[in-house]
Structure 1
Amino acid sequence: MRPVDILRTGAGGLRSRRARVVLSALGIAIGIATMVAVIGLSLSSRADLLAQLDRLGTNLLTIQAGKTALGEDAKLPKQAVAMVRAVGPVQQATATGDVDASVRRSDVVPQERTAGVAVQAARLDLLRALGGRVRSGTWLTTAGERLPTTVLGAVAAERLGVLGPGEKILIGDRWFVVVGVLAPVELVPELDRVALVGFTAAQHHLGFDGHPTMIFERSRDDAVAAVRDVLARTVSPGSPEVVKISRPSDALAARAATDEGMTTLMLGLGAVALLVGGVGVANTMIISVLERRQEIGLRRALGARKGDIRLQFLTESLLLSALGGGAGAALGAVATAAFALVQGWTPVIPLWSIGGAVAATLAVGVLAGLYPAARAARLHPTTALNAA
């Protein structure tokens, strides 16, 4: 038989049982769609994380004081930022400091009702060092550093009900004018929940002692590890063990690793769905052989060889799997693109995942069709023609 005759015969067998073919192909489609979507979404998410890391940089280190040997809270020295800047490869160093003051929307709100918003003193170069941006209004300025002005984090503004610059909030017992609201700070999300005031204003109006609570440092990419090794001794030469150093970008890297693990799990689930679909195809083909014994006997009587019968049913199995695989690949690609766009990611649908889906589909088709095809080829023409 010519290849075109084999395809025509196989397709004819599928057209005669359309409902069963659709249901069998659905199992294959679900498995393939799951695998394509999982790969696409994982790569889209990881690409977004890597782009985020490239944008924010991996050279930011944070320095904060831990506990002393007696269990008391240690303090960073007031000149700690200057000490960090003295390290050769350091390019930027800035700081924030915790301020013991309540934040209220108005004086009718009890002092204990702070809406979960804390107060921190901030140096003027903080926003530039963190790669943050102001969503509305302005950042703290040199001229206004001594004045009772504040910039709210994104969450803090929402919790306090502040719509934008020009409004007033009560910090401690003094009214502060909101001059700006920050966009979410991706590397340091803790700043989303605070009211930031200038160091000088915090000292003059809120009793801030001037000790930084957290220092943010950026250095050359090739020197991050070396700088990390000397920061504790630089900031606290007498007791470096009380200084904690961390890299905020590690959290994003950990998310990428977690996504990779989840991808493996979901691919396993997709493979199980594909296996179930393959079992469904094999079951469909076996039933087809039983129902078409007279057709097989007639073809054998007219001169068809065992190999022709075997190839016919194997082709039907391949076409059935290919139908489900094609639909599944298309569905997976559409689902990936739609979900990625909703999440604000750049959709990534690698061609190798589509190629892998096609290869997996053909493999399932061959495996699912081998036994039914061999069983059909073994039927004796006389026995097949006499079948009820």
Structure 2
Amino acid sequence: MHPSTANGGAVPRKAGSRMRLRDVLGTGTLGFWARRTRTALSSVGIAIGIAAMVSVLGIAASSDAQLQADLDALGPDLLELSPSDSLTGDEVELPPASAAMIERIGPVRSAAAVSGVEATVRRSEFIPAGQTGGISVLAADGDVRGVLGITVADGKWLDAGTERLPNVLLGAVAAERLAVRSTAEAPQVYLSGVYFTVIGIADPVPLAPSIDRSAIIGEPIAEQLFGFERSPSRVFVRTGSHVPDDPELLDDVREIMAATVRPQAPAEVGVSRPSDLIAAREYTEAAFTGLLLGLGGVALLVGGVGIANVMVISVLERRAEIGLRRALGATRHHIAQQFLVESSLLAVLGGTGGVLIGSAITVFYARSQQWVTSVPTTALAGGIAAALAIGALAGIYPAIRASRTDPAQAVHPTV
């Protein structure tokens, strides 16, 4: 008598079979090699979703990195004063000596003013008078360049000699709209009946977009030709380096500036910090980033549904394989594990492709905009993790269905 039947005839239990990780991965990739075209097409949906999410996060991070670089270069200590609306509806004018008055405030390091000139800018006299391209004419004092940290892309800045002659310096946007790309051949633009020679083209000034859209001339020539009288439209102020670190002190300085320039009605003077406006724009762009991430998530979900559909079809097509494996000793757990791993690997394949595509899109776009390129490592790792999670969820139902396949029916030739 067999020892195991000596006491009551109990039949020995078969030791549970186990699969090593290498075997699990090996069986999970069987469908890859047998159906390569289907594998590639199934991964496309996941790749599109991951690429969309990675590129959106990467572009947003690059934009933020460039913003921080601009603020670090230009400084958060710049304030801008401008006339506001009066209570009576009359036009508010700042005193001609506004910049000098503000420089007397202790924490103020330097100040400079620009004033509007009653003149229009056209490429030539043959251009219709109304087609000015939204370009304004400004007369600037000599300190504007230093206060704003303006650099010249081509040519030179106005100095004590050139500002007395019909010379003009164009902002970056103004030069583009007037189709002036170089000062090498001394190009000219037409300012209300007089041709001015372009002696310089400024680089973009992110904290002072009004400069970008302006043609800047000297005050002496503006007085001579256009009857200019100084009435600052903008006053740019640099405070001490310690002020930005103390928000309360900065607010006090703002209030003092308005009262200093127009003590009888300080509310009629607007004081702003341009860096705050840029930060507000960044918050607005963040809302669009969230929307685009949502669209990327939808694409990722669609890709997951596609994988689930492909895996269900794969289970139906491979019933004979499943039945044969069950007949050879594979358990339901092994079958479920095989299809779950296959769907997960399929999603990871698409996710890897999506991360590479999204990173490439980010680099290309950032370089085209001349931004600092920044691709968050969390976006890369998160993309792969999201793909893996979607693949695992998409494979649960097909894996369960495959594990419940009856071996006898699966290998039956009529089924």
TM-score (norm 2): 0.86
Q: Distance in 2 between matches of 1:118 and 1:102?
A: 7
Offset of 1:177 from its aligned partner?
Answer: 4.2
Q: Distance in 2 between matches of 1:265 and 1:33?
A: 15
Q: Distance in 2 between matches of 1:72 and 1:207?
A: 22
Indicate the residue corresponding to 2:117 in structure 1. Answer: 99
- C-alpha distance 172-351 of structure 1, shift in aligned 2 (>3 A): closer
Q: Distance in 1 between matches of 2:279 and 2:164?
A: 39
Alignment map for 1:220-369 (pairs within 5 Å):
220=240, 221-222=244-245, 223-369=249-395
Offset of 1:115 from its aligned partner?
Answer: 5.5
- Say whether the 8 Å CA contact 1:99–1:119 is kept in structure 2: yes
Indicate the residue corresponding to 1:180 in structure 2. Answer: 200
Offset of 1:296 from its aligned partner?
Answer: 1.4
Indicate the residue corresponding to 2:91 in structure 1. Answer: 73
Offset of 1:76 from its aligned partner?
Answer: 0.9
- C-alpha distance 133-287 of structure 1, shift in aligned 2 (>3 A): same
User: Letter of the aligned partner of 1:38 in structure 2?
Assistant: V
Task: Render the CA deviation track for 1:221-278: whole Å, top value 9, x for unaligned.
Answer: 2343321122111100011121111222233212321232222111111111111111
Indicate the residue corresponding to 1:56 in structure 2. Answer: 74
TM-score (norm 1): 0.91
Q: 94, 102, 108: which one pairs with 1:90? A: 108
Task: Render the CA deviation track for 1:21-75: whole Å, top value 9, x for unaligned.
Answer: 2221111111111111111111111111111121122221111222333211111
- Say whether the 8 Å CA contact 1:53–1:252 is kept in structure 2: no
SS at match of 2:113: strand
- C-alpha distance 14-105 of structure 1, shift in aligned 2 (>3 A): closer
Q: How many positions carry a matched residue from both structures? A: 388
Indicate the residue corresponding to 1:24 in structure 2. Answer: 42
Q: Distance in 2 between matches of 1:328 and 1:161?
A: 40
Offset of 1:148 from its aligned partner?
Answer: 4.1
Q: Distance in 2 between matches of 1:251 and 1:183?
A: 20
Indicate the residue corresponding to 1:210 in structure 2. Answer: 230
- C-alpha distance 328-155 of structure 1, shift in aligned 2 (>3 A): closer
Q: Distance in 2 between matches of 1:156 and 1:245?
A: 25
Structure 2 residues not aligned, in runs of 5+: 1-18
Q: Distance in 2 between matches of 1:108 and 1:310?
A: 79
Q: 362, 366, 370: which one pairs with 2:396? A: 370
Q: Distance in 2 between matches of 1:348 and 1:74?
A: 45
Q: Distance in 2 between matches of 1:348 and 1:109?
A: 44
Alignment map for 1:148-187 (pairs within 5 Å):
148-160=166-178, 163-164=182-183, 166-169=186-189, 171-172=191-192, 176-187=196-207
Task: Render the CA deviation track for 1:305-324: whole Å, top value 9, x for unaligned.
Answer: 11111111112112211211
SS at match of 1:213: strand
- Out of 120-129 and 184-193, give the one that drifted further: 184-193
- Say whether the 8 Å CA contact 1:46–1:259 is kept in structure 2: no
Q: Percent identity?
A: 47
Offset of 1:331 from its aligned partner?
Answer: 1.6
- C-alpha distance 36-227 of structure 1, shift in aligned 2 (>3 A): same
Q: Distance in 1 between matches of 2:363 and 2:198?
A: 41
